[in-house]
Amino acid sequence: MMKLKSILLLVLGCALPVSAAERSVSYLEEVYSLGSVAGQGLACQSNKYDEYELLARAIMIGKAQNAAQQKEGIEQYNTGKVEAFMAMEDENFAACDEVNAEFDNQKIFKSTLYSDGRIKLYDGTMITPRKTYNAARLYQKDPDAFAKADAAYKKYVAQAEKNGKNAQKIKLHDANYDRYSDQF
């Protein structure tokens, strides 16, 4: 439990978008952290999970320097999300009250997302994507997101146990990005 709490506080602290001058964090490290926080919010079924997804994805797209970096960023985001979800599941969601309290009070929620994909962060920093896109289509709420992630996790662990191996990674797939990837 203490290990999970330390990871939670570390991830929540890292996920806030900051300028390179404030912290030396690479794009891929930042989107991995954003994904990790998303995974915790999903695992704990936070009320602000969908809003977080929308804002985090806008940051990820807006900060990508090119399509190749964005694709790698999507993979890192999803990896962080899956690993954080799995960690929460491994702990039987024991810290969810604390996670939700911290998750719902992040500075990212003070950001403003504009319809063309620009996002003004809580500190006034404006992030403009390489090309405009319909921000309303960036993320569609999925009321079954937790159930799907939980089922994928359980299926993966069962398969790993059947094969006599430890579960390492779940194959990542993000229907939201696949559906709208031609927009970005």
Domain boundaries, the chain: 2-16+24-179
The confidence band for 158, taking pLDDT boundaries of 50, 70 and 90, is confident
Retrieve residue 181's tokens.
């990837």
Q: What is the C-alpha to C-alpha distance for residues 33 and 63, in angstroms, rounded to an integer?
A: 14
Q: Is the pLDDT of residue 156 over 70?
A: yes
Q: Is the pLDDT of residue 145 over 90?
A: no
Which of 141-145, 157-161, 168-172 bottoms out in mean pLDDT, i.e. has the lowest?
168-172
Q: Which residue has the tokens 């159930």?
A: 147
Average pLDDT over residues 113-139: 90
Burial of 19 (0-12, 13-18, 19+ CB in 10 A): exposed
Q: Is the pLDDT of residue 105 over 50?
A: yes
- Top pLDDT among 11 and 54 is at 54
Q: Which residues pair with 126 in a beta bridge?
A: 120
pLDDT for res 6 = 40
pLDDT for res 146 = 85
The confidence band for 9, taking pLDDT boundaries of 50, 70 and 90, is very low
The confidence band for 25, taking pLDDT boundaries of 50, 70 and 90, is confident
- 130-156: burial string, b at 16+ Cβ within 10 Å, e else: eeebebeebbeeeeeeeeebbebbeeb
pLDDT for res 163 = 74
Report CA-CA distances (Å) from 37 to 127, 134, 182. 20, 24, 26
Report CA-CA distances (Å) from 27 to 6, 115, 155, 175. 23, 23, 32, 22
Average pLDDT over residues 137-143: 80
Average pLDDT over residues 144-153: 84
The confidence band for 127, taking pLDDT boundaries of 50, 70 and 90, is very high
pLDDT for res 134 = 85
